[in-house]
Amino acid sequence: MSLTRSISPALRIVGILALVLLLPVVMLTGCGDSGDPASGQPASFGPEYAGWSAEAQYVGIEACQSCHAPQYDDFIRSQMGRSWRHAARSESNANWDNITPLYSAYDDMYYEPYARGEDLFVKEYRIVSGDTTHLRVEQIDFIVGSGHHTNSHIYAENGYFYQVPVTWYAQDAKWGLAPKFQKLGNNYRFGRVITDECMACHNGQPTFVPGSENRFEDVPLGINCEKCHGPGSVHIEEKQAGIIVDITKEIDYSIVNPAKLSAEREMDVCQRCHMQGASVFEGGDTPLDWRPGQPLAAHQNVFWPRQPDSLTHFIMASHPDRLAQSACFKDSWKEDSAAEPMTCLTCHDPHKPIEETREQVNATCQNCHSGQADTISALMCTDPTVVAGTNTATCASCHMPQAGSTDIPYIRITDHFIRVPERLTPEEVEDQTRFIRMASFMDRDPHPRQRADGFLTYYEQFTDRPGMLDSAAVYLARAQAAYNEAPSAVDGEEERLRASWIRLWHLSEDHAAVRRVSQQADFKAPSDAWSYYRIGESFAAINDYARAVRWYEQAVALGPDHLRFMDKLGVALTQAGRLQEASDVFDRLVLANPKFETGLNNRGFMHLLIGDLEAAEQDFRSALALSPDLEQSEANLASILMNTGRVSEARPMVEKLIERFPANPEYRQALDFIRQQGDSP
């Protein structure tokens, strides 16, 4: 397509700038066996809890306060209780005075957080030859994290939630780029979406907008009682009706008390959020569907690569996996053990701040490592300072040493692998990059298709190593062979397999395979929006936009508030020549989120095609104000400026494009044209 149909023949040479393709939507980043005796599903997990019912509603932490005031008062001071709050200087743990701007070398941007009264902001800017060439300011809406390790920051645009690029690292008392924003080539700027999976563990139960990627109608303020106890509406109704259970004699099934669950289900409550990695959700479940007391492995599995064992290489939220490697944990789970199985609640009171439970941890150690007195020296420890009684440190400080995290910089966390620490040689430390296998944390023997999905999720969210896709293909082939032998063994398995194959081919860029299977006479499309989107992508890859539109339309029908799906549909409609329909889609998209820069860019291109240069220019300028390096917006805006006699304004844009893309001959032709118009050489 070209602008030459709507511009003066004398300026035809610059129309070539409009041949720049519409900006593609880039996928964002949305764990062998753990050895955990608590993994897997039991044959039975007890009677039904009221909170498992679809009728049970989340009521919020304030509804619990009147009857459980002591627990409420303690919990709101705890790290979990302070996990999410409205952004205000008085609510922040960070230092907001005299901040040195943070620099991102990848995109040559500076980030400067600042406060204005109680309001918090972050300023993004670029300096070229002493001049500010780009400036974007966003107000921070929410603070994430108690400040024990970090304060991260969120901004919301019409209910769409995104992470802000700056984080306060409390232990080092310093500002830095947010986790995952620091690696070269991986600065999300203001585009990292906060999905329901993110929100499920960093906050209480939100009101998520179905059919979106990151839109919420309402979010609580902090992890609350119902995160571990389940929805409380039935419990409150029963108590108000006078239905009282003597909990010293029996279990109150109107609410889940994790301490009354089996050890396996009790561990599940903590593992839901403290065992993170590449999560795979089963049977159409979403991250918000699981209820405490239910077997977690039936809802979710988590996969993570195993490297040679290390004392220093592990992610932050891997506490149950590290604990499961401990001898005391393993011994407590043996059938002939005289002790109760160790769980997280053995040492932790989840209602209290961590700093108030340190003596409880010591006392727990002494239950097994007992001696003649209630002192550290009484423990069975051979450290000379402990034996001499001069060491007053806690047990955990030596046997659960603090270490760094591989996924979050500038933090130190307690390593829950209880052991006598050993030193690693440099060779052993270096060996941590070697991949051994993919561990399965929730289910010790996952279905091959689920294991394949684990590899696919890990590839999407954590790495781009092709070997992950090769492994996924091996496990998918095994799952397919098993299904072909017994096609009715698992309800819905055929559809799940089909969705996984389409996902694998999409990530492998084997678009031909996706097209081939989708055009078979007996093909039944999976019922999830992402599969429709991926099939649409396979036809767009060969410029078959008529077919691409049909699949994108199905994706948008299932995901009407999903901005990336809408954007892709608008692009396909534009390329198919259905410009009025494209205009309607883009208008709806930009109305939903006026800061969705790719939508602005692509709507601008659509306006070019219908000859509305004024609207196109406005969209391109809006897109560049948000993201100054959008090649398509800059090239097409330069084209508009040249075609409307503003060559001096177009020149710096074209020079910048040549600097960034020196191999593009069209940009050099455009600069030659500008010079011919009499602009300074």
The full DSSP string for 561-622 is: B-HHHHHHHHHHHHHTT-HHHHHHHHHHHHHH-TT-HHHHHHHHHHHHHTT-HHHHHHHHHH
Same domain, 92 and 9: no
4 secondary structure, DSSP code: G
- Find the mean pLDDT for residues 325-353: 91
Confidence of residue 291 (pLDDT cuts 50, 70, 90): very high
Same domain, 339 and 430: yes
- At 136, which helix (H) or strand (E)? strand 131-139
Backbone angles phi, psi at 193, to 5 degrees: -75, 145
Share of the chain above pLDDT 70, in %: 86
Same domain, 272 and 207: no
Q: Could you tell me which residues are beta bridge partners of residue 119?
A: 116
User: Of 439, 468, 503, at which residue does a domain stop?
Assistant: 439
Q: Dihedral through CA 268, CA 272, CA 275, CA 279, nearest 10?
A: 120
Same domain, 218 and 262: no
| Amino acid residing at 74 | D
User: Of 439, 464, 498, at which residue does a domain stop?
Assistant: 439
Residue 162 is encoded by which pair of tokens?
């995104």
pTM for this prediction: 0.89
Measured CA to CA, the distance from residue 521 to residue 610 in angstroms comes to: 38
* Placement of tokens 């705890």 in the chain: 78
Measured CA to CA, the distance from residue 410 to residue 179 in angstroms comes to: 10
| Amino acid residing at 43 | A
pLDDT at 310 over 70: no
pLDDT at 203 over 60: yes
Asked, for residue 247, whether it belongs to a domain, the answer is no
User: Of 381, 411, 439, at which residue does a domain stop?
Assistant: 439
- Find the mean pLDDT for residues 658-680: 88
Same domain, 337 and 433: yes
pLDDT at 225 over 80: yes
Residue 329 is encoded by which pair of tokens?
């944990």
The answer to whether the CB of 396 falls within 8 A of the CB of 299 is no
**Beta-carbon contacts of residue 643 (< 8 Å; ≥ 6 apart):** 3, 7, 8, 11, 14, 15, 613
The answer to whether the CB of 603 falls within 8 A of the CB of 583 is yes
Asked, for residue 13, whether it belongs to a domain, the answer is yes
Q: What is the pLDDT of residues 34-75, one digit of tens each?
A: 334 333 333 333 468 999 998 999 999 999 999 999 999 999
Q: What is the pLDDT of residues 489-547, one digit of tens each?
A: 677 899 999 999 999 999 999 999 999 999 999 999 899 999 999 999 999 999 999 99
The answer to whether the CB of 578 falls within 8 A of the CB of 546 is no
Measured CA to CA, the distance from residue 215 to residue 222 in angstroms comes to: 18
Measured CA to CA, the distance from residue 382 to residue 375 in angstroms comes to: 14
Window from 401-405, 560-564, 586-590 with minimum mean pLDDT: 401-405
Q: What is the pLDDT of residues 494-505, one digit of tens each?
A: 999 999 999 999
* pLDDT for position 33: 37
* pLDDT for position 231: 96
Backbone angles phi, psi at 245, to 5 degrees: -110, 135
Domain around 428: 257-439
Asked, for residue 446, whether it belongs to a domain, the answer is no
pLDDT at 424 over 60: no
The answer to whether the CB of 90 falls within 8 A of the CB of 143 is no
* Placement of tokens 């009147």 in the chain: 66
Share of the chain above pLDDT 90, in %: 72
Window from 6-10, 15-19, 55-59, 190-194 with minimum mean pLDDT: 6-10
Query: Would the CA dihedral through 641, 647, 651, 652 be positive or negative?
Result: negative
Asked, for residue 397, whether it belongs to a domain, the answer is yes
Pairing assessment for the beta strands 150-157 and 131-139 based on DSSP bridges: unpaired
Same domain, 264 and 406: yes
Nearest of 271, 267, 249, 250 to residue 258 by alpha carbon: 267
Measured CA to CA, the distance from residue 113 to residue 166 in angstroms comes to: 7
Asked, for residue 595, whether it belongs to a domain, the answer is no
**Beta-carbon contacts of residue 1 (< 8 Å; ≥ 6 apart):** 18, 19, 575, 609
Same domain, 219 and 318: no
Asked, for residue 453, whether it belongs to a domain, the answer is no
Q: At what angle do helices 493-507 and 529-540 cross, to 10 degrees?
A: 40
Same domain, 274 and 210: no
- Find the mean pLDDT for residues 132-157: 97
Same domain, 165 and 273: no
Query: Would the CA dihedral through 391, 395, 400, 402 be positive or negative?
Result: negative
- How many domains, the chain? 3
Measured CA to CA, the distance from residue 144 to residue 175 in angstroms comes to: 15
pLDDT at 426 over 70: no
Asked, for residue 466, whether it belongs to a domain, the answer is no
Same domain, 207 and 348: no
Residue 299 is encoded by which pair of tokens?
């809802």
Asked, for residue 3, whether it belongs to a domain, the answer is yes
531 secondary structure, DSSP code: H
More confident residue, 30 or 86: 86
Measured CA to CA, the distance from residue 546 to residue 575 in angstroms comes to: 9
Measured CA to CA, the distance from residue 607 to residue 496 in angstroms comes to: 40
The answer to whether the CB of 215 falls within 8 A of the CB of 159 is yes
Nearest of 461, 433, 455 to residue 188 by alpha carbon: 461
What integer best gives the mean pLDDT of the chain?
Answer: 87
- At 126, which helix (H) or strand (E)? strand 119-128
Same domain, 206 and 269: no
Same domain, 269 and 201: no
The answer to whether the CB of 552 falls within 8 A of the CB of 572 is yes
Measured CA to CA, the distance from residue 497 to residue 484 in angstroms comes to: 11
Residue count (the chain)? 681
| Amino acid residing at 272 | R
